[in-house]
Structure 1
Amino acid sequence: MSEVKPLWTRDFVILALSNFMLFVAFQMLLPTLPVYVTDMGGDQLAVGLVISLFTVSALLVRPFTGKALDTIGRKPVLLLGLAIFLLAVSGYYWMVSVALVLAIRFLHGIGWGIVTTTYGTIVSDIIPSERSGEGMGYFGMFSNLAMAFGPLVGLWVSQNWGYGWLFAISAGLTALAMILSRLVRIKGVPAGKRPRTSIMSGLLEKAALFPSLLNLLIGFIYGGIFSFITLFGLEVGIENIGLFFLFNAIALMAVRPLAGKLFDRRGPVWILLPGAIILGVGLLLLSYSTTEIELVGAAILFGIGVGSVQPSLQAWTIKRVDPARRGAATGTFFSAFDLGIGGGAMILGAIAKVTSFALMYRYSLIALALYLIIYIIYLSRQAKKTQATETVSS
């Protein structure tokens, strides 16, 4: 019996803490930047651009980041991304117009796209391959912990201490993330294994496309949930809509390690099908919610679904690619999620405009149905290939 390699190594813990610091810095600004732009005189269009510009710049930079990770190396790319992120966060307070805030928001998205792609790649290098699902689950749990209280801290600081302190604390946490990241012993890609490609080629990893397609469909649903959940609360008369964020984060943290272990022991099918079904039940319950109890129930189910499916898709992506292409694979994976979020917010927002937010959530179940159909077709084809191989060998 082979010895089980340790998961909680020095480098894994330091990287997880660095990732946690960065996510807190990011989550503090998530609910406060729209208010900051409004206080500066920005209208609803400007507030919408705060979200869309960030998503677009992160999406654009991810494929190039993945290629750089596989050619230049992990640590230089990570430090560059953290430096850009730190520059953007530090600069918000000094911007004297809404246009300048939006410009630095675009820069902020570039930093975010670089660092999140890089963290995902580095942790896949550190985690033992036989424990990839479990490791990704625990690593993602740190991000979910930041999601649980980062927005609350950001709102409290901005309301009680002002925006200057808000941006200063966010910048300080980013600086701590940078210091911690320098302590991680990161293995570079061996020179002999680095892909020799032109500048534009190799930006996407072919082996990562199928799980990334499933991740795009999850992102489509996710974009509709978190872009319009506050407006949905106003529509149905639920005042404390923040309960959805809180219990969703708690469910995410609770399920990730368990789902990761099941992924490692039984394979992706045991997570990707039941997890998606639970996600769908949560989405359907949300669309009919009119009370806080129903909202909490929907948040828990949705959190269990996303918290089991997405890290399993990421672990599956890493297992499908050569180690020398993990950067490109991670960039492909997160780019698909960004594209799904942006497309979901835009398409579902248009649907909500002519129907309602409750109906919009029910229409978003079409994306989940596509997910299930595509994955079941894939499983059917894999089963036929296996059967044909066994027939030939016998």
Structure 2
Amino acid sequence: MTTACEIPTVSVSPLLSRQFVRLLVMVFGSGLSMYLLTSVVPMYLAANGSGGVGAGLSTAAMMFSAVGVELVVPRMLARWGYQVVLGLGLVLLGAPSLMLLASASLPVVLAVCIVRGAGLAILVVGAVALVADLTPPARRGEALGVYGVAVGVPAVIGLPLGVYLIDVVGFGALFVLAAVASLAGLVMLIGLPARIAVEEQHVKVLGGVRRSGLLMPTLVFAAVTVAAGISVTFLPLAVAGDRQSMVASALLLQAIAAPAARWLAGRYADRVGPAKLLAPALVLAAVGAGSLIFLPSPIAILIGSTCFGAGFGAAQNLTLTLMYNRVDRSRYGQVSALWNLAYDGGWGLGALAFGAIVGGTGYPVAFALTAAVVALAVVPAVRASAA
């Protein structure tokens, strides 16, 4: 019993536990491995005779491979646990980068992208599910925001740095650096949970999607990732070669804005609910994507990339938080897989479609179509906020 002078204390679970920090460090390394080569591999192909179609195929191959593997990751987690599965993902993402030292032929590069896509799928699905397992539900939005920073900071470093370092150290050194960044994360697996927290897992990724309320945020997020895949793949190719420093600056601004917005969206989503913030985030992303129709204006490129990064980052957190809030713990793996399917499927589809149409329409029209896809997603987001 407390007296009138005593103030009851409220127990608040710590957010940055030792296990969560280990996970964040691992995520940082694997993210750096991915983003160092995201814009570099298309440029590597273009420099060796494979033009826009080859660039689009490389991104699409990685992302569609990820989509296929993401369908089975929840089942892998249920059978083998976090440590084994995440370790496999780190190896598949990092080691194949070294094969690019041997050949720049399109079939070899596409094979490398396919294997790296499988590793990426394992890591993103496993890591997001583990975030939900390791952090208190009342602070889930903030935890996903912190995770978003750990994922986003490698983009801040890797996207512009990869483009910049091509002329400084060459493609080969970048391929080695990408391999080391991922493989070093194996050390961080020590101390992470070996098994998932709930024995009975919903391992069918596409089962019950409509009834559980997961369909809308999945499709909305996919629309935004279509534009994301296009921007990082084709912006370096859409701008004249002597202005690559401006492209690097634009990618840097986009990469900074995304994790910052992702963290802020998570903080406020815990207070007001993610659905109320989703439509404004999509509007911002659509405006940013639409600004690229004014190429080659430096102002349009820099402001558009920043706006898109902010809208994209916020949409990442809001859709994922919304999905987790609609299910019980047995579906955490399903949510992670669905969300990452939307991420990688939209990213790959956007790059593939853009590469196929840009030759006939030109970059301004193709970027306008990209903005229209994002704008269409505002409609269901508005309905969700009013529900």
Common fold: TM-score over 0.5: yes
The alignment's C-alpha RMSD in Å is 2.8
Match of 2:336 in 1: 330
Q: Which amino acid aligns with 1:344?
A: G
Distance 1:139 1:370, change over 3 A: same
Task: Select the residue among 70, 74, 97 that pairs with 1:89.
Answer: 97
Q: Please give the secondary structure, in 2, of the residue aligned with 1:240.
A: helix
Match of 2:36 in 1: 28
Task: Select the residue among 239, 263, 270 that pairs with 1:233.
Answer: 239
Match of 1:268 in 2: 274
Q: Which amino acid aligns with 1:328?
A: Q
Could you tell me how far 1:86 is from its partner in structure 2? Answer: 3.1
Distance 1:13 1:110, change over 3 A: same
Deviations 1:309-351 (A, max 9, x none): 1111112212222212211221111112222223323444455
Counterpart-to-counterpart distance in 2, 1:40 and 1:355: 25
Could you tell me how far 1:356 is from its partner in structure 2? Answer: 3.2
Q: Which amino acid aligns with 1:194?
A: Q
- Kindly report which structure 2 residues correspond to 1:42-191, keeping only aligned pairs within 5 A, or say none: 42=50, 45-95=53-103, 98-155=106-163, 158-185=166-193, 188-191=196-199
Distance 1:29 1:280, change over 3 A: closer
Counterpart-to-counterpart distance in 2, 1:43 and 1:344: 17
Matched, 1:279 2:318: no
Counterpart-to-counterpart distance in 1, 2:381 and 2:222: 13
State the TM-score, normalizing by the size of structure 1.
Answer: 0.85
Asked whether the equivalents of residues 217 and 368 of structure 1 are also in contact (C-alpha less than 8 Å), the reply is: yes
Counterpart-to-counterpart distance in 1, 2:43 and 2:360: 27
Match of 1:387 in 2: none
Indicate the percent of aligned positions where both proteins have the same amino acid.
25
Match of 1:392 in 2: none
Distance 1:172 1:131, change over 3 A: same
State the TM-score, normalizing by the size of structure 2.
Answer: 0.86
Could you tell me how far 1:219 is from its partner in structure 2? Answer: 1.5
Counterpart-to-counterpart distance in 2, 1:225 and 1:287: 12
Could you tell me how far 1:289 is from its partner in structure 2? Answer: 5.3
Distance 1:290 1:140, change over 3 A: same
Q: Which runs of 5+ in 1 are unaligned?
A: 383-394
Could you tell me how far 1:72 is from its partner in structure 2? Answer: 3.5
Counterpart-to-counterpart distance in 1, 2:29 and 2:90: 11
Asked whether the equivalents of residues 41 and 98 of structure 1 are also in contact (C-alpha less than 8 Å), the reply is: no
Distance 1:224 1:114, change over 3 A: same
Q: Please give the secondary structure, in 1, of the residue aligned with 2:72.
A: helix
Match of 1:390 in 2: none
Counterpart-to-counterpart distance in 2, 1:73 and 1:115: 13
Task: Select the residue among 294, 305, 322 that pairs with 1:299.
Answer: 305
Could you tell me how far 1:21 is from its partner in structure 2? Answer: 0.8
Counterpart-to-counterpart distance in 1, 2:224 and 2:104: 38
Asked whether the equivalents of residues 66 and 329 of structure 1 are also in contact (C-alpha less than 8 Å), the reply is: no
Distance 1:210 1:186, change over 3 A: farther
Counterpart-to-counterpart distance in 2, 1:43 and 1:225: 16
Q: Please give the secondary structure, in 2, of the residue aligned with 1:73.
A: helix
Deviations 1:42-93 (A, max 9, x none): 5554444322211221111111112322444222211121222233123332
Counterpart-to-counterpart distance in 2, 1:375 and 1:114: 29
Distance 1:101 1:226, change over 3 A: closer
Q: Please give the secondary structure, in 2, of the residue aligned with 1:241.
A: helix
Q: Which amino acid aligns with 1:243?
A: S
Q: Which amino acid aligns with 2:361?
A: T
Match of 2:377 in 1: 371
